[in-house]
Amino acid sequence: MTDLRSFIPPYILHRIVAHGSEHQRSSAMSTLAHVRTLRHTPGPPVRPAAAAILPATSKRGQVQRSVHDAQGKMLLPGMPVRLEGQAPSGDPAVDEAYDALGASYDFFWTVLGRDSIDDKGFALIGSVHYGQDYENAFWNGSQMVFGDGDGEIFQRFTRSLDVVGHELTHGVVESEAGLVYADQSGAMNESLSDVFGVLTKQYLLGHTADQADWLIGADLLTPRIKGVGLRSMAHPGTAYDDPLLGKDPQPDHMRKFVITQEDNGGVHINSGIPNRAFYLAAKALGGFAWETAGLIWYDALCDKRLSHETSFSAFAKLTVEHARRRFSANEARVVQRGWSQVGVETTQEAP
């Protein structure tokens, strides 16, 4: 089973291959072929060789970034273009990646007290202009990689802060819990990445749970595509409905859970269920989601009792426990209600 950490789900690329123009099909096929070659070894993030160009720092809370230009090739990391503290390069992709890596680090540090992905000051490396019309972004265990999109369906992937936050969170999940990237634990892995990706965006914009759009990848689709983003945490299954991409297939309740062998057991599809549970809890708790629901979900992620093969219900039970521990019985009831509304019970013992 291929263990992917790419942002665009394979089912979307398959739709483009089946229904796109010659150019769109070619871009999607080359992206899909590359995605299939990605074999990521679960475990703590691996310090990339590119990090050697950054000066060492022992000070916690100090971000270390470098952005590289892959120059249309698939060789990483590429040429260094902008290092920590340097002025903008003038290349939108480079500067967007630099800013997004910084915003993600700032969220992890300021809100969660986490010093980068591994909580040990892990250097954040990004490579832009990867491949030709590459329709994806991915975390490879040591760095972020961004394609430019085909310009017809997807725009450059550096445009979307929540994409960067999403992919970096995969590193956090690996470092903390090592959730197996298949079935419910894989969907939970994807959902956690969406949760902290969207919270990074909300934190930067200063949006409350009521003000936020709760969309993932809202800046990626070109105007010709009928959709508002790749996923909606508020209303899974409604992000897009387009002749080319089809209809967003995410379920919003366990009764619609998708049983499939594709996409590692439907990790991108079924993540809609825990995504909506988080949204419902955050909305009901009110205020800034990163101050309440976000902290609860982070506590559960870092709980050493969390199984590598957790089910939705086992993770949900931990969130209820941590809501009570960090806040009160009232917050615990709100979180429990959010899970119950998507058909996930919290009475099961955590494995």
Write the CB contacts of 289 (distance below 8 Å, at least 6 apart in sequence). 199, 202, 208, 209, 212, 282
- Reported residue count of the chain is 351
Write the CB contacts of 256 (distance below 8 Å, at least 6 apart in sequence). none
Q: Which residues are catalytic?
A: 167, 268
Write the CB contacts of 72 (distance below 8 Å, at least 6 apart in sequence). 129, 131, 132
What do you get for the CA distance between the two ends of the chain, in Å? 24
* Residue 68, H or E segment: strand 65-69
Please confirm whether the linkage preceding 55 is cis (ω < 30° from 0): no
Q: Are 150 and 24 in contact (CB under 8 A)?
A: yes
Nearest to 254 by CA among 190, 187, 201: 187
Write the CB contacts of 191 (distance below 8 Å, at least 6 apart in sequence). 271, 273, 274, 275, 278
Nearest to 137 by CA among 6, 308, 323: 6
